[in-house]
Structure 1
Amino acid sequence: MLGLGGWFAVGDASGQDASASAEPAASAEIERRPYSIRVWFSVDPAARLGQGSTRALVDRWLTLAQRFVGSPWQIEIQPDEGPLRGRSPQQLEPELVGPLVDGVEKGWFLRVEPAPTGGGLTLVGREYDATVRQLGPLYRQPAPFPKDAARSLFELTRRVFAPVAEVVRSDPGAELRVQGAALPTPDRLGRVAEPGLVFRPYWIFLGPNETIREIRSIPFTYLHVDEVEGSLARCQIVSGLRQPLPKQVAGRYRLVALGLNPADVPTRFRFVSGEGDQQLPAAGYVLTARGLRDRVASEVGTTDREGRITLPPKFSDKLVMLRLLAAGVEPLREFPVLPGETPEEREIPVEPRPEAVALEFRLKALQDEIVDLIARRGVLEARLDARATGEAWDEVKRLLDEYEQLPPRRDFEERLARLSETAQLTQAERGVPILTRTAQAELAETRALIERYLDDEAYQAFLDAYQRSQAPDGSAVAPAASPLVRSTETTPPPAPASRAAGSSSTGQNAAPDSPPARPGTPSGAGGSVPF
């Protein structure tokens, strides 16, 4: 591999001496403090980029950095390949590069490689941040035109660069003081923080003499920048935890945040249930994804026999909410993620909740039976209406008898009540979640189907019309008890209208009997039904 050698003088994009001690800068306010960046650069021999071409590439890149970013980046070019000698940036480890970045805030490791297909080059790079001691993901940037490779290199370093901020307030949202945000930049491209940027918060626990005792990232928690006012960034806290940023934390600490830029790498998860020797892969569960402001989720895939699932590269360049579902209905885990944040596989524990899933399956089956009954009732009511209109009362009687053989409403009410009572008792005895939010929603939906669609108004109306047709004087006959009558008390149907006024009790001047009135469409029979 070919490095820059000793021919390139140490300097920075703004013309200042970046090799000076970082101690004076550390005393400045964070928003006015530039980033001291130490850069190692290497060239793959297969890229066929000579020493002169390499020097010209770096010179043009530094010119672009000065033109668009300016003072926020204090770049220090190293005279040798350093950790990139015999390695690619992908092979670097934090333990290897951490000591080399001592005295500065960031280390960049850049490399020129040949394009995998066709002509041109491929530029790769990653960043080590000394504040949180994290080595970022690997970024790749195509450079199809070698003469314009400096622009591709500048775009690569913009993606590699991760701003640092201090969290100054976290209730209800978060406010960040972003390092370098108050420094002037020649172009908007050089702004350190913009709306839409995503940060990950970290706890830095301090020991004696301000030494760092532990650095801990907050899992499943992100800070999404909604607004930038001066050097202050106001963020929405997006987390899968109930209290991701508690107000009371033991010990001395700093709460910082590191900016994230998604890389073109797959995002891998492994879902497991149980602990220790009892740990098992969560296989066969459905994973869905939606944007932060989207209500509808789309299915991503199903976990394999090892509980693994992978989001492809470039799945999304924004935060998404992932939800793991058992049987496609019961949420087991919901958490945010920035696809491409890291190539490492993340292991996520889940609680299967088999009892809750079984209850939801029974409720779904009960709903299917109700919808089927609604459809069968609708067919019979349509036929009854046609036969009553044609006064084919024998057919009406046959259809009424068929209607009576349908399952009555009270059967469904009793079955629903038994499911709910059994779930409550089991949940209290075993101490396991059964009546989850999803299960309660299914219970409410089933109850609503019964109350809205399984009334007997239509049946009673046709039965009353048939009985009037069979009475010698057309008067109403008290209906016999029917198993279809709902379990609750109902108001009896009104008596039929009396004959025309002025008729005598003997019927001498009475008008001829009118045919039995055809029942109107009851409220429960019209409108749309859920099938």
Structure 2
Amino acid sequence: MAWFLVPGVAISQEQGSSPPPDLAGRPYSIRAWVSVDPGARMGPATARDLVDDWLELARRFVGSSWQIELQDGEGPLRGRTPADLVEEAVAPRVDGAEKGWFLRIEPSGSGGGYTLVGREFDATTLQFGPLYRQPAPFPGDAPRSLFELSRRVFSPIAEIERTEGGVELLVQGASLPGPDPVGRVVVPGTVFRPYYVFLGPKNSVREIRSIPFTYLHVEDVNGPTARCEVVSGLRRPLPKQVAGRYRLVALGITPADVPTRFRFVAGEGDRQHPAAGYVLTARGIRDRVVTEVGTTDREGRVSLPPRFSDDLVVLRLMAGGVEPLREFPVLPGETAEEREVPVEPRPEAVALEFRLKALQDEVVDLIARRGVLEARLDSRASGQAWDEVKRLLDEYLRLTPRREFEDRLARLTEDARRDQAELGVPILTRTAQSELAEVRALVERYLDDEAYNAYLEAYRQSQQQAGAPDSSGSSNLVARSPSAPPAVAPRGGSQPANLPPESTAPDAPPPPAPGRGTGVPAPEPASKPKAQSGTSIPF
């Protein structure tokens, strides 16, 4: 769901009413119903003792924060399980309280003990919590298991106050003294979901809207105030320009042991169809390690297994493994309901990125081949094997020149811009532009011809000093420049058209006899390309 925004219009923020000054010191009014499945084989007296012991544990560890009102009878649970409850049957019975707890004792599937099931209904946001299950394998320890279930079921409520660096929460009941740390209402790491509660006449609730893909992650707690980090898939999840009178509240959530299910769809209206065959990845909100979760099936469905994570994760749906279609945070186990997520397929952008990946592979392969040739040239020049140097220079010259890659990049960019303007679809996306910049940087950084030109000059000097004719004139050896395409020797001639004229210097002295002298020193290239740290070159 979305909320009503008025872009470009400064609407005064009519935040219905300020939070009551005693909110942090106000306990939670909780109405609880407990039912027993006949298959559990628990008599009324045993059930009453279990509930009494549970209430005693709540008073001992939580204290006055929970004001539990145990209701007679099964109430809304008559003939139903907690999973079958609906708002229409629950809301009237919870009216006047802030929470409704619905707990049920069921037989254990393993044959011994019980399975305790429960969920909460929050009267402020009219939201059901997920369904929680707590094993109680030993009947004598069932009260402790029921207390642990109630801790998981409980969701604190808070008023949201915007700040410059994020948001702060004024949490109900956070100022009440707790007899034990396990009974604290809010602790660092607690996750909240924000809601807009729009108000009508006399502060009546007119509408309640959740903010999609938005969570508040508690970083620090100072008394009744909790400082939170806003984790959202929206650019402006908590805008101040919202029409109407409202309260901005947050509801705490605890993950349950249930799968988290999604269905991704593309298109709108009659053209809506499942987004099948896309890869879903996940990472932590502060972790850059990406894990592949699965691939959407033919219906666009994919799910996270139970207990996938106890904290927020960021999901990203990828097209072709290169183009992100949708990125949003989620708390696994937040709800067992399937959520539908719209996406916008970008086949043109994916096609462009695949071409860029192929071009990048060509560039990396060429860098590796040039590196091998330069290492051999260095070895042959150091050993004065100038015939081998000439052969290697000929092989180097036959490699794809830098100019060709620059032209291909320019054509890809121009074609993408034209198609994007004509089709009106995103092609030069952020990912595509990043790929373009990366390939361009590889070409500019590693495909210069300084090493080739340096070895070519060394070869020519060696021929002049040896008094031998410059055999480079009868070959394709020419100096290469990154700003111009390589010259090609004419087929019928003995020297390329743009080869500099041979030197007219006087004859060089004859070379020294073997073993008498050092011969021609091996010239070193002016600058030799090397793989540097911080690049994506795989060697």
What is the TM-score when the length of structure 2 is the normalising length?
0.86
Q: Is the 8 A contact 2:449 2:482 kept in 1?
A: no
State the Cα deviation string for residues 465-514 of structure 1 (Å, max 9, x = none). Answer: 32233336559979768577233289xxxxxxxx9xxxx99979x99986
Match of 1:524 in 2: 528
Match of 1:287 in 2: 280
SS for the counterpart of 2:311 is coil
2:481 matched to 1:486?
A: yes
Choose the corresponding residue for 2:33, options 29, 35, 40.
40
CA distance in 2, matches of 1:395, 1:127: 82
State the Cα deviation string for residues 160-194 of structure 1 (Å, max 9, x = none). Answer: 00111111225431111111111121111111111
State the Cα deviation string for residues 126-148 of structure 1 (Å, max 9, x = none). Answer: 00111111111100111111101
Match of 1:31 in 2: 24
Choose the corresponding residue for 2:264, options 271, 284, 290.
271
2:329 matched to 1:336?
A: yes
CA distance in 2, matches of 1:434, 1:412: 21
Change (3 A) 1:472 1:167: closer
User: Which structure exhibits the higher relative contact order, with contacts defined as CA atoms closer than 8 Å and separated by 6 or more residues?
Assistant: 2
2:182 matched to 1:182?
A: no
2:109 matched to 1:116?
A: yes
Q: Displacement of 1:454 after TM fit?
A: 1.1
Match of 1:368 in 2: 361
Q: Displacement of 1:113 after TM fit?
A: 1.0
Match of 1:97 in 2: 90
Match of 1:235 in 2: 228
Match of 1:408 in 2: 401
Change (3 A) 1:506 1:258: closer
Match of 2:46 in 1: 53
**Greater mean alpha carbon deviation, residues 44-53 or residues 256-265:** 44-53
Alignment of 1:162-177 (within 5 A): 162-177=155-170
State the Cα deviation string for residues 348-367 of structure 1 (Å, max 9, x = none). Answer: 11111112111111110001
Alignment of 1:452-531 (within 5 A): 452-471=445-464, 485-488=480-483, 515-520=519-524, 523-527=527-531, 529-531=537-539
**Greater mean alpha carbon deviation, residues 452-461 or residues 475-484:** 475-484
Q: Displacement of 1:422 after TM fit?
A: 1.8
CA distance in 1, matches of 2:140, 2:508: 115
SS for the counterpart of 1:470 is helix
Match of 1:354 in 2: 347
Change (3 A) 1:132 1:392: same
Match of 1:419 in 2: 412
CA distance in 2, matches of 1:133, 1:478: 89
State the Cα deviation string for residues 369-394 of structure 1 (Å, max 9, x = none). Answer: 01111222222223333333333333
Q: Is the 8 A contact 2:465 2:508 kept in 1?
A: no
SS for the counterpart of 2:521 is coil
Q: Displacement of 1:83 after TM fit?
A: 1.6
Change (3 A) 1:514 1:121: same
2:150 matched to 1:157?
A: yes
2:397 matched to 1:393?
A: no
* Aligned partner letter, 1:339: P
Q: Structure 1, unaligned stretches of length 5 or more?
A: 1-25, 491-498
CA distance in 2, matches of 1:321, 1:476: 68
State the Cα deviation string for residues 48-71 of structure 1 (Å, max 9, x = none). Answer: 212221111101100000001111
Give aligned-pair identity as a percent: 68
Match of 1:22 in 2: none
Change (3 A) 1:476 1:252: farther
**Greater mean alpha carbon deviation, residues 60-69 or residues 242-251:** 242-251
Q: Is the 8 A contact 1:409 1:484 kept in 2?
A: no
CA distance in 2, matches of 1:177, 1:141: 30
SS for the counterpart of 1:316 is coil
CA distance in 2, matches of 1:389, 1:254: 79
Alignment of 1:59-70 (within 5 A): 59-70=52-63
CA distance in 1, matches of 2:108, 2:403: 72
2:314 matched to 1:306?
A: no
Change (3 A) 1:53 1:329: same
Q: Is the 8 A contact 1:272 1:307 kept in 2?
A: yes
CA distance in 1, matches of 2:270, 2:507: 92
Q: Displacement of 1:254 after TM fit?
A: 0.9
State the Cα deviation string for residues 95-147 of structure 1 (Å, max 9, x = none). Answer: 22111111111110001111111422111100011111111110011111110
Change (3 A) 1:338 1:483: farther
CA distance in 2, matches of 1:290, 1:221: 16
Q: Displacement of 1:297 after TM fit?
A: 1.6
2:65 matched to 1:72?
A: yes
CA distance in 2, matches of 1:472, 1:27: 96
Q: Is the 8 A contact 2:466 2:508 kept in 1?
A: no
Change (3 A) 1:469 1:115: same
CA distance in 2, matches of 1:211, 1:462: 85
* Aligned partner letter, 1:281: P
Match of 2:125 in 1: 132
Q: Is the 8 A contact 1:452 1:524 kept in 2?
A: no
Q: Displacement of 1:399 after TM fit?
A: 2.3
**Greater mean alpha carbon deviation, residues 514-523 or residues 287-296:** 514-523
* Aligned partner letter, 2:304: L
Change (3 A) 1:505 1:88: closer
What root-mean-square deviation, in Å, do the aligned CA atoms of Structure 1 and Structure 2 show? Answer: 2.6
State the Cα deviation string for residues 396-430 of structure 1 (Å, max 9, x = none). Answer: 32222222211111111111111122222222333
CA distance in 1, matches of 2:471, 2:167: 71
**Greater mean alpha carbon deviation, residues 167-176 or residues 339-348:** 167-176
**Greater mean alpha carbon deviation, residues 278-287 or residues 457-466:** 457-466
* Aligned partner letter, 1:344: E
* Aligned partner letter, 1:520: E
Match of 2:424 in 1: 431
Choose the corresponding residue for 2:213, options 211, 220, 229.
220
Match of 1:378 in 2: 371
Q: Is the 8 A contact 2:315 2:330 kept in 1?
A: yes
Q: Displacement of 1:279 after TM fit?
A: 0.8
Match of 2:137 in 1: 144
* Aligned partner letter, 2:375: A
Q: Displacement of 1:445 after TM fit?
A: 0.9
Match of 1:496 in 2: none
* Aligned partner letter, 2:401: P
Q: Is the 8 A contact 1:464 1:476 kept in 2?
A: no
